[in-house]
Structure 1
Amino acid sequence: MPRLLDVSNDVRAEIGDDEADRLLAGDHTPGSYDCTSCRTPGDSAQERTSTVLFVGDETAVLAFAHAGCLPSQVVQVAEDQLQGAVRSVAGSPEPVGGGEPPVGGTQAVLGVTSGLLLIAGELHPTLVIEPTGPIARPGAQPGGGDDFLPLLIEQGFMPVTELTEAPHALPGWSVLLAMGQLHAVLQPGTGGTPSQVAWWQAHQPLQVTDGWRAAANKTHTVLVCAAPAGSIGRQPREDLLRDALDKAAANGRLVAAAMPLAGT
């Protein structure tokens, strides 16, 4: 039976025309599925459904999502993250993990904290990103300083001196929520690449609270704040996280951007 399936040009290019046509004809497409984003049931025979292709170094996984949750797209992910996603689909629990920095030449880990920030009377779902150590530019000599914030500013993040209004949107970027968990922060592809690539990606899918997800679904936007190593720290409560962000902003050690939410 033909399916109400969206297969983007990027997905078609990866899987080939023959496989794409078979999917559209319903040969290899399940009628019912669990949405890879919101994890609620879907039916490709009754409602618009997106094909989402997760591609790692050696593995590719084709998933299905409500068209209203995710557009059909190719998502480049680390091989270990993709294997973790496969285990998550199978029902195996996954611990919260960090991610590797996509900028700079230093192999530091990026710590990511999710929280709700009250700005101008509205709760904003927020991700706070802080490396475990200094981030240097590619090719820089060791001990040359921390270029994390300058690199992000060059990418379009804006310096923040006080959290009195939400930051501007960063075109082409988005926050990917798949299978009900945080998977990546995506940026535009480079060198003519049409699809987005991961700027930050979780080693293991990152859990977010129901309140955070509800706020994100309401605004369809996530605030991403970033600060150099040692600026924020691991804060056990959202009020303490806010205090640390306010202090970092006042000291000129905070950048931020707003990004659309991909998924629910």
Structure 2
Amino acid sequence: MPRMLDVGDDVRAEIGDEEADRLLAGENAPGSYDCTSCRTPGDSEQERTSTVLFIGNETAVLAFAHATCLPSQIVQVSEEQLQGAVRSITGDDGTGPAGGAPDQAVLGVTSGLVLIDGELHPALVVEPTGAIVRPGAAAGGGDDFLPLLIEQGYMPVTSLDTVPDVLHGWSVLLAMGQLHAVLQPGADGGSVAWWQAHHPLQVTDAWRAAANKLQMVLVFAAPVGSIGRQPREDLLRGALDNAAAHGRLVGAAMPLAGT
């Protein structure tokens, strides 16, 4: 029986017309599935369903999502992240440290709710474990983390009284109910991971509910030593306020991809 599948042009180009046509005809597509985004049941015979292709270095995984949760798309991920997604699908979620920055420094990512103008906003706070130098620059020449981000479109944050501007082309990928990546525009017009979790990271129900409500996530970034791992959201807010007051914070609002 034909399925109500959306197969995007980029997904079709990757898997080939023959495989795409088999999916649409219902030969290879499941009738019922668990949405790769919200993790609730779906039925491709009864409701529009998106094909989402996760591509790693060596393998690819074709997943299905409610069209209302995710559009059909290709998501480039590391092989390790892809294997983590597979483990998540099979029920072995696990958590792990943040992915690597371009110069291999590790980016730590903390999620929390931030109160701005009377409304709780879902936020991610990114802080490297060491100084980030400009590609090609000699080590020990200072920390270029904030200037590099400003060149990408992030804006300096001097206070948390207002929501940062939207950084177009970037998004936060929440798939299978967990945090997978912060995506940036790729050179070929698609999306690539700027930061990615080695294993899908848990977020609280309240964080996910706020993200679903606003369809937007605030991403703040600060140099090493500015924020630290704060055990409570009030302490995280205090650290953010302090970093902003000392000119050590940039931020952007990004659309939510997934739920």
Report the TM range for the smaller structure's normalisation.
over 0.9
| Structure 1 residue aligned with 2:131 | 134
Shift of 1:60: 0.1
1:57 paired with 2:52, answer no
TM-score by length of 1: 0.97
Structure 1 Cα separation of the partners of residues 66 and 152 of structure 2: 31
SS in 2 for 1:81: helix
Structure 2 Cα separation of the partners of residues 163 and 91 of structure 1: 38
Residue 235 of structure 1 aligns with an amino acid whose one-letter code is: Q
SS in 2 for 1:232: coil
Shift of 1:98: 1.3
Cα deviation, 1:64-108, whole Å, max 9, x if unaligned, reads 000011110000000001011111111113123211114xx3x21
Cα deviation, 1:140-166, whole Å, max 9, x if unaligned, reads 111111100000000000000000000
SS in 2 for 1:75: strand
Stretches of structure 2 that go unaligned for 5 or more consecutive residues are none
Shift of 1:195: 1.4
Identity across matched positions, percent = 78
1:95 paired with 2:92, answer no
1:157 paired with 2:187, answer no
Preserved contact between residue 98 and residue 195 of structure 2 (Cα < 8 Å): no
| Structure 2 residue aligned with 1:177 | 174
| Structure 2 residue aligned with 1:122 | 119
Structure 2 Cα separation of the partners of residues 137 and 70 of structure 1: 35
Structure 1 Cα separation of the partners of residues 173 and 139 of structure 2: 33
Residue 222 of structure 1 aligns with an amino acid whose one-letter code is: V
| Structure 1 residue aligned with 2:163 | 166
Trace 1:7-156 onto structure 2 (pairs within 5 A). Answer: 7-102=7-102, 105=103, 107-156=104-153
Structure 1 Cα separation of the partners of residues 134 and 108 of structure 2: 19
SS in 1 for 2:99: coil
Residue 134 of structure 1 aligns with an amino acid whose one-letter code is: A
Residue 6 of structure 1 aligns with an amino acid whose one-letter code is: D
Shift of 1:238: 0.3
TM-score by length of 2: 0.99
| Structure 1 residue aligned with 2:245 | 250
Shift of 1:2: 0.7
Residue 253 of structure 1 aligns with an amino acid whose one-letter code is: R
Structure 1 Cα separation of the partners of residues 39 and 229 of structure 2: 29
Cα deviation, 1:190-216, whole Å, max 9, x if unaligned, reads 1xx131111111111110000000000
